[in-house]
Amino acid sequence: MVKLAGSPESLRRQNRTNVLNCILNHEAIDRTQLAVETGLTTTAITRITRELIDAGILETGEKAPLKSGPGRNRTQLTFTDDNTFVIGINFAAWERQMVLANLKGEAIAYRPFELSNPQDSAQTLEEISHTVNTFIVEQKIKRNRILGVGFAIAGIVNSTAGRLESSPYLGWHDVEIGKILSDKLGLQVAVENLNNIIAMAETRYGCCANKKDMMLIRVGPGLGGSFLFDGKLARGDKFQAGQVGHIPVADNHILCACGQKGCLNTIASGWSILADLNLSIPPASSPGRLVDDGLLLEDVIGRAQNGDEVVTAAAFRAGSALGDMLTALYKALAPEVVLVVGPIAEIGSYIDGIQSAASNNKITLPLFTPNDQKFKSVASSAALHGLSEFLFSPRLRLAELMPVSATLDHPYLSGEINP
């Protein structure tokens, strides 16, 4: 066991984080097993779990019989599911939704939301904060029992600062989303690129749990990606990793939303399908066309799912273009699994195109798609990101969850003594 270094407070927080993450990996676990797996003393485990129970984060469950030998049955510990929450917000091209989730990551309530002018960042964040406040009132929960908010948005996100650097589809630049929403809501807010949020949620809580090397491609109006290597998110210089839609691949002189010509977006995205069907004219995107193109894509997806041969053929061509790029990326990066998600990925012929291109390149992709896997919604993934940031990390504000009397009873929380 590596000996931790740091201030007494940082050590307490890290020990608590280790305990919570250990509990996350078990449906139920007793204190003795926690001590064994974390390397902490039974005294430390008793203190930490007592704090977490008093804060309403853990509860005691059934007593499990000992595997062998005499002694008392051990009390199992589990997360509570009815008194502490996180909120997840998905602000994507046309799917905008918030979700309330409990500490087990279970969605309790969903709420879609509309925006009057998505291109106006100040007005949009004001409307979102108003909707969140209304949502909290409707759910009849106490604000101090909300650990925080996970916020997913398409664009280049400085997740450390909670700042959106740029989003060409929205026309937003240098927007302090985290600070603005935190000030308006009185809650902690974690802002992250939505592709990264999906990737982290699926590898920690979803279909790819325990996978260390993963490649995700999200296909909506445009293409976005996320990469995990050895369990760590690849962010790249200035948080720009994952912009697969802007890889130059074609000599077609079609203008992409980024201002360049011949990007993968122009032949493999939702917007490329619209252009192929003569429903939309390049460039692939602009802020003013966001809503109209989204409605067109919803119609196209419906037509494809109803067997429209013209649409399915266009989707197959776009999928084939992505498949060619995926096989090259797969050869270079060798991920354990490739996830293709997003609304366009729900078109069967698009996925067929990917697999056909891979087969032509003599590659068998370890592919997960909506055809064979139910992925978490982006809003739910955002809520799970909130759990990762505000529960399973040293950022947990335990004292704020404690009843006043319980805080005074805890010398560690009241600051009277060190561990």
Amino acid code (one letter) for 250: A
**Domain identity same for 99 and 240:** no
- Model confidence over 92-129: pLDDT tens digits? 877 899 999 999 999 999 999 999 988 899 999 999 99
**Domain identity same for 361 and 244:** yes
Confidence of residue 63 (pLDDT cuts 50, 70, 90): low
Whole-number Å distance between alpha carbons of 273 and 265? 10
Whole-number Å distance between alpha carbons of 274 and 315? 9
Please report, rounded to a whole number, the percentage of residues in the chain having pLDDT higher than 70. Answer: 90
**Domain identity same for 165 and 296:** no
Q: 49 pLDDT exceeds 60?
A: yes
pTM comes to 0.89
Show which of 64, 80, 96 is a domain's final residue. 80
The DSSP call for residue 226 is: E
pLDDT of residue 54: 95
Phi, psi (rounded to 5 degrees) for 311: -70, -45
Which domain, by its residues, includes 156?
85-199+377-390
When divided into structural domains, the chain yields a total of 3
Q: 7 pLDDT exceeds 60?
A: yes
Task: Name residue 149's beta-bridge partners.
Answer: 87, 189
**Domain identity same for 357 and 231:** yes
Confidence of residue 65 (pLDDT cuts 50, 70, 90): low
Q: 228 pLDDT exceeds 50?
A: yes
pLDDT of residue 67: 52
- Model confidence over 174-197: pLDDT tens digits? 999 999 999 999 999 999 999 999
Question: The domain that contains 216 carries what CATH number?
Answer: 3.30.420.40
**Domain identity same for 154 and 222:** no
Residues in the chain: 419
In a domain, 403, yes or no: no
What value, to the nearest 5°, has the Cα angle with vertex 138 and ends 135 and 143?
A: 65
Cα 250 from chain centre: 31
Whole-number Å distance between alpha carbons of 368 and 207? 9
Confidence of residue 408 (pLDDT cuts 50, 70, 90): very low
Q: 205 pLDDT exceeds 60?
A: yes
Q: 410 pLDDT exceeds 60?
A: no
Separation of first and last alpha carbons in the chain: 18
**Domain identity same for 217 and 231:** yes
In a domain, 172, yes or no: yes
In a domain, 177, yes or no: yes
In a domain, 407, yes or no: no
pLDDT of residue 405: 47
Q: Which of 234, 237, 247 is nearest to 329 (CA)?
A: 247
**Domain identity same for 147 and 30:** no
Whole-number Å distance between alpha carbons of 349 and 345? 9
**Domain identity same for 147 and 192:** yes
Per-residue DSSP letters for 142-170? -GGGEEEEEEEESSEEETTTTEEEEETTT
Alpha helix locations (H) across 27-120? 31-38, 42-54
**Domain identity same for 143 and 103:** yes
Average pLDDT, integer, range 225-244: 93
In a domain, 49, yes or no: yes
Question: The domain that contains 43 carries what CATH number?
Answer: 1.10.10.10
**Domain identity same for 215 and 349:** yes
In a domain, 216, yes or no: yes
pLDDT of residue 251: 85
Average pLDDT, integer, range 79-97: 91
Q: Which of 272, 234, 235, 265 is nearest to 248 (CA)?
A: 265
Contact at 8 Å (CB) between 217 and 326? yes
E strand map for 103-222: 107-112, 146-153, 156-158, 163-167, 172-175, 189-193, 214-219
Amino acid code (one letter) for 138: E
In a domain, 419, yes or no: no
In a domain, 105, yes or no: yes
Q: 1 pLDDT exceeds 50?
A: no
Contact at 8 Å (CB) between 104 and 392? no
Q: 73 pLDDT exceeds 70?
A: no
**Domain identity same for 101 and 243:** no
pLDDT of residue 418: 44
Show which of 80, 100, 131 is a domain's final residue. 80
**Domain identity same for 184 and 217:** no
